[in-house]
Amino acid sequence: MTPSCASKNADLPYDRVWNFSAGPSVLPQSVLEEVQRDLLNYKGHGMSVLEMSHRSKVYGSIISDAEATLRRVLKVPDNYSILFLQGGGTGEFAAAYLNLMASKSVREKQQKLGRPLACDYIVTGGWSKSGLKEVERLGANVNVVLDGVKSATTGETVYNSLPPVSEWNLGKPEETAYVYYCENETVHGVETPANFVVDAVDPSVPVICDMSSNMLSRPVDVSRFGAIVAGAQKNMGPAGVSIAIVRKDLLDRDESDPEVTRNIPSVLDWCYFDGAASMPNTPPTFSIYVCGLVFKWVEGQGIETMEKIRNERAKMVYDVIDAHPEFFHGLVDKKYRSAMNLVFTLPNAELESKFIAEAADCNMIQLKGHRSLGGIRVSLYNAMPIEGANAFVAFMKQFYENNH
């Protein structure tokens, strides 16, 4: 029996679908409507933002307003720079390493030690693993603090939990350049609790966090991080722009030493962008404009409200998974389950294919798990209305009744 899809067209104007994509992801409807209104003629200026010079006064106001809004929403302290960058989160794998190792404070620390400082990497899933591989390729002196956990049944490394801090292999503070981790693993559905890492790391060591897939979904104490980096296309806007929030002392360099920036391409150089208000060259103008609208939307909701809604959406789905664990097999330790990317499997591949196909018939798309993991992945980013989560939960319950 096929689910009735009673909610197929409910709460879906413009013949839209419920988009559960892991990224690029759903955007707030009100933001899309404002973009639509302004697409041909932005605020009476006679042209689209798509056509606008980044050197114009009008666009200068757009990007400065976006930065100011994000600073208010996250309460970013004055001693942090906000940078709009290209290259996505992947580009920031290399940028974080190259910029930190060029920092005056890190270089002085390394000189005092008399040998290369270690770069500590906490690996909790696919994206932190990719970050690790990138800096290894660049020749970093890497210390792996942890790499997943060992499966109790196979002994293999799996990414579904975190070991206790007592088992972490953190380097000595005087021997460590920085600690890097990804707070929410989009592929494996593991989310590190807020402040879990910064509480474990010596305050003298900068913590670099990739928040690509949970940025703006909950409050964050920016002052506890050396830098926060994030691709925009999950919670903040469309693909094409990434954001770095960097403590300014880490941008301080000894410019008289030619070795400092020899290996940093300009496009990855945070100082280069910081010195030109994120526009040393042509930025991804339209993507930044849309991000600015999303920031205003979040500000209107309130970051605490965003967190409340994110937890409510996730709980609705996890409650169904937990009610029928023999059918909906959750893959992640409950203490570390993501509120953004919820992953589970069904009893067999045939049922998974049927689930995805019937969901699509009910206007619910992009539910197939990542190719490296399989199963089902439900991405519930900020712009997913609670009605979308309700519709998905109703589908899950109906599918269970028809197939268990």
Pick the catalytic residue from 127, 269, 297, 368: 127
Whether 210 sits among the annotated catalytic residues: the reply is yes
CA nearest 184: which of 156, 152, 205, 210?
210
d(CA 250, CA 74): 20
d(CA 250, CA 32): 36
26 burial type by CB count under 10 A (0-12 exposed, 13-18 middle, 19+ buried): buried
Q: Give Cα 289 to chain centroid, integer Å.
A: 19
> What 8-state DSSP symbol labels residue 337?
B
d(CA 93, CA 133): 9
Residues in CB range of 365: below 8 A, 6 or more apart: 17, 18, 19, 20, 21, 359
d(CA 262, CA 349): 51
d(CA 50, CA 36): 12
Pick the catalytic residue from 109, 129, 234, 296: 234
Residue 129 is encoded by which pair of tokens?
Answer: 């693993």
Strands (E), 215-302: 227-231, 242-247
d(CA 121, CA 148): 11
Whether 15 sits among the annotated catalytic residues: the reply is no
Q: Residue written as tokens 């910064």?
A: 198
The answer to whether 275 touches 281, Cβ cutoff 8 Å, is: no
The answer to whether 241 touches 290, Cβ cutoff 8 Å, is: no
Neighbours of 223 (CB within 10 A): 12
The answer to whether 97 touches 138, Cβ cutoff 8 Å, is: yes
Which residues sit opposite 368 in a β-bridge? 376
CA nearest 343: which of 225, 188, 202, 206?
188
d(CA 384, CA 41): 28
Cα-only R_g, the chain: 22
Please report, for residues 68, 85, 209, 225, 310, the alpha-carbon distance to residue 81 in angstroms, rounded to integers and kept in the order given: 11, 12, 15, 12, 27
Pick the catalytic residue from 18, 109, 210, 269: 210
Write out the catalytic residue numbers: 127, 210, 234
